[in-house]
Amino acid sequence: MQTIISASFVFIATSIDYLIILIMVLAKLAQKSTRRQVYLGEYLGTAVLVLVSLFFAYMLNFVPEDWMIGTLGIIPLILGIRAIFTDDDEADEAVEQIEGRGNQSLFGTVSLVTIASGGDNLGIYIPYFASLE
């Protein structure tokens, strides 16, 4: 039960920024059928992020434990330094990309936007999953 609660808090803490992107996208859409594509695209993107994190966490089992602690600490640092030097406005970029493509491939676009904007979550998910036994 403790693992489920802590995993829920990790997911909420890392995905709160993406909530703003979804609100902006859903505010632009009026049709229910397109909203369904947004929801399914978001679920697919999140599933890909979690599966990639699980894969890398599994692969870290083969790395010596002394090296693993140092390696896992570098991932969030690199992502944080990158965020300082880049001016990413993910929400506006996501809405522009989705509006530019129209409703034809909304499912795929939302999935890709979810993966792109959630890539920084890998820096949290991988160490978290690796610490679970």
Q: Specify whether the CB–CB gap between 57 and 129 falls below 8 A.
A: yes
Q: How many CB atoms lie within 10 A of CB 61?
A: 10
Question: What are the CA-CA distances from residue 17 to residues 14, 24, 73, 106 (Å)?
Answer: 7, 12, 22, 20
Q: Which two tokens stand for residue 125?
A: 């998910």
pLDDT digits (tens, 9 = 90+) for 93-117: 666 666 665 556 778 878 887 887 7
Give the C-alpha separation, 23 to 49, whole Å.
20
pLDDT on residue 69? 63
pLDDT on residue 48? 92
Q: What is this structure's pTM? A: 0.69
pLDDT on residue 51? 92
Length of the chain equals 133
**3-class SS of residue 71:** helix
pLDDT on residue 17? 76
For the chain, list residues with pLDDT below 70: 29-33, 65-72, 87-104, 133
